[in-house]
């Protein structure tokens, strides 16, 4: 514990580490799934000048975080540890190697003080451009058995209860295009088990406890809001820390555009993003705060990590701060 009995959490998200096998696939892996030259040209412009030009060459940012990470009582990693180059999660050997190396560095540095959340890259997802890949049960099994990721975790620090869950499972109804038809029943079973675990955690909350939620993808929050066990305890949720959006610019736009009709004519990824923005009005009661990607986005180079200072006795609200990592 720090001065005056405070507890400091270090939070990082969307590390997108690339092991050697992933780097060997080259920087334009997201464009190779686009047969249409016009779409490929637009995708190249967007990725190179707005999103992230060289996603496979940002490993040094994790090392910079580890160098700066002194004095943390706990560290929470909030998902997306690989670049998911084949888009099917850790069922791919290169993606799995990337996740194992990335989380291995975190475990070596922080040991039992580390808590690790799932991101969508661990389980597979359709790429920003193109329609190959998606959720794979083989990735779910490998993430649990080989990487050692727990789908649900709970940590008590005084009057605070920290809860981490798998956003991809909670938001499964929005992932219909990502699932193989033969795998859908098992995914739905896993979702029901996961929701039951979340319900039990909220049902067990005592009136004086405060909750810090850790959720990679905020698409899950509207579905969580529908759960009565969660909804009746929302006043106890002090903050919900998300990742996935990479930049606070997207978080700001999400709030600005909340409630607008979803766009359905510019492809799968844009339709999903538009639908998520439409649901952003449900984020408000969760008191959402974004932990950006370590690299941020190319346009702003606004990446970094966050800290959360809390008083275990909850005599004052927890203090959320962003710490920028600079890169060229």
**Mean of per-residue pLDDT scores for the chain:** 90
Number of residues that make up the chain: 328
Tens of pLDDT, residues 110-158: 999 999 999 999 999 888 766 678 999 999 999 999 999 999 999 999 9
Confidence at residue 280, expressed as pLDDT on a 0 to 100 scale: 75
Which sign does the torsion angle of CA 214, 219, 221, 224 carry? negative
Confidence at residue 253, expressed as pLDDT on a 0 to 100 scale: 61
Instruction: Flag whether pLDDT at 266 surpasses 50.
Output: no
Q: Using CB atoms within 10 A of its CB, is residue 144 exposed (0-12), middle (13-18) or buried (19+)?
A: middle
Instruction: Flag whether pLDDT at 167 surpasses 50.
Output: yes
Q: Which residues contact residue 124 at a Cβ distance below 8 angstroms, ignoring those fewer than 6 apart?
A: 84, 87, 88, 89, 91, 133, 134, 135, 136, 139, 178
Reduce the DSSP state of residue 208 to 3 states and report it. coil
Q: Using CB atoms within 10 A of its CB, is residue 321 exposed (0-12), middle (13-18) or buried (19+)?
A: exposed
Instruction: Flag whether pLDDT at 33 surpasses 80.
Output: no
Instruction: Flag whether pLDDT at 92 surpasses 80.
Output: yes
Reduce the DSSP state of residue 128 to 3 states and report it. coil
Region 41-60: mean pLDDT is 89
Confidence at residue 260, expressed as pLDDT on a 0 to 100 scale: 45
Name the pairing type of β-strands 160-164 and 210-215: parallel
Instruction: Flag whether pLDDT at 43 surpasses 90.
Output: no
Instruction: Flag whether pLDDT at 67 surpasses 70.
Output: yes
Confidence at residue 30, expressed as pLDDT on a 0 to 100 scale: 76
Tens of pLDDT, residues 190-230: 999 999 999 999 999 999 999 999 999 999 999 999 999 99
Instruction: Flag whether pLDDT at 265 surpasses 50.
Output: no
Q: Is the CB of residue 142 less than 8 Å from the CB of residue 94?
A: no
DSSP symbols for 24-89? TT-TTTTTTT---HHHHHHHHHHIIIII-S-GGG-HHHHHHHHHH--S-SEEEE-S--B--TTSSG
Confidence bin at 35 (pLDDT 50/70/90)? confident
């Amino acid at each position: 514990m720090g001065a005056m009995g405070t507890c400091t959490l270090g939070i990082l998200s969307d590390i997108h580490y690339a092991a050697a096998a992933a780097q060997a696939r080259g920087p334009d892996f997201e464009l190779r799934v686009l047969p249409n030259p016009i779409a490929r040209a637009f995708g190249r412009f967007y990725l190179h000048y707005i999103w992230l030009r060289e996603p496979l060459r940002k490993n040094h940012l994790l090392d910079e975080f580890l160098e700066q990470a002194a004095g943390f009582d706990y560290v929470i990693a909030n998902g997306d540890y690989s670049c998911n180059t084949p888009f099917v999660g850790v069922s791919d050997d290169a993606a799995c190697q990337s996740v194992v190396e990335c989380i291995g560095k975190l475990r070596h540095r922080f040991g039992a003080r580390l808590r690790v959340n799932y991101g969508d890259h661990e389980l597979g997802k359709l790429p920003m451009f193109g329609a190959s890949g998606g959720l794979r049960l083989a990735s779910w099994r490998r993430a649990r058995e080989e990487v050692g990721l727990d789908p649900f975790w709970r940590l008590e620090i005084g009057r605070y209860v920290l809860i981490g869950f798998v956003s991809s499972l909670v938001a499964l109804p929005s992932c219909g295009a990502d699932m193989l038809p033969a795998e859908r029943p098992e995914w739905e079973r896993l979702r029901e088990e996961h929701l039951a675990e979340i319900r039990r955690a909220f049902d067990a909350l005592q009136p004086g406890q405060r909750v810090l939620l850790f959720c990679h993808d905020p698409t899950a929050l509207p579905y969580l809001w529908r759960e009565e066990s969660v909804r009746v305890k929302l006043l106890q949720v002090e903050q919900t820390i998300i990742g996935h959006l990479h930049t606070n610019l997207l978080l700001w736009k999400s709030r600005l555009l909340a409630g607008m009709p979803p766009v359905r004519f510019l492809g799968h990824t844009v339709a999903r993003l538009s639908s998520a923005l439409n649901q952003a009005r449900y984020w408000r009661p969760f008191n959402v705060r974004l932990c950006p990607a370590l690299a941020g986005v190319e346009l702003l180079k606004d990446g970094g990590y966050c800290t959360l200072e809390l008083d275990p006795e909850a005599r004052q609200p927890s203090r959320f701060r962003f710490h920028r990592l600079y890169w060229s």
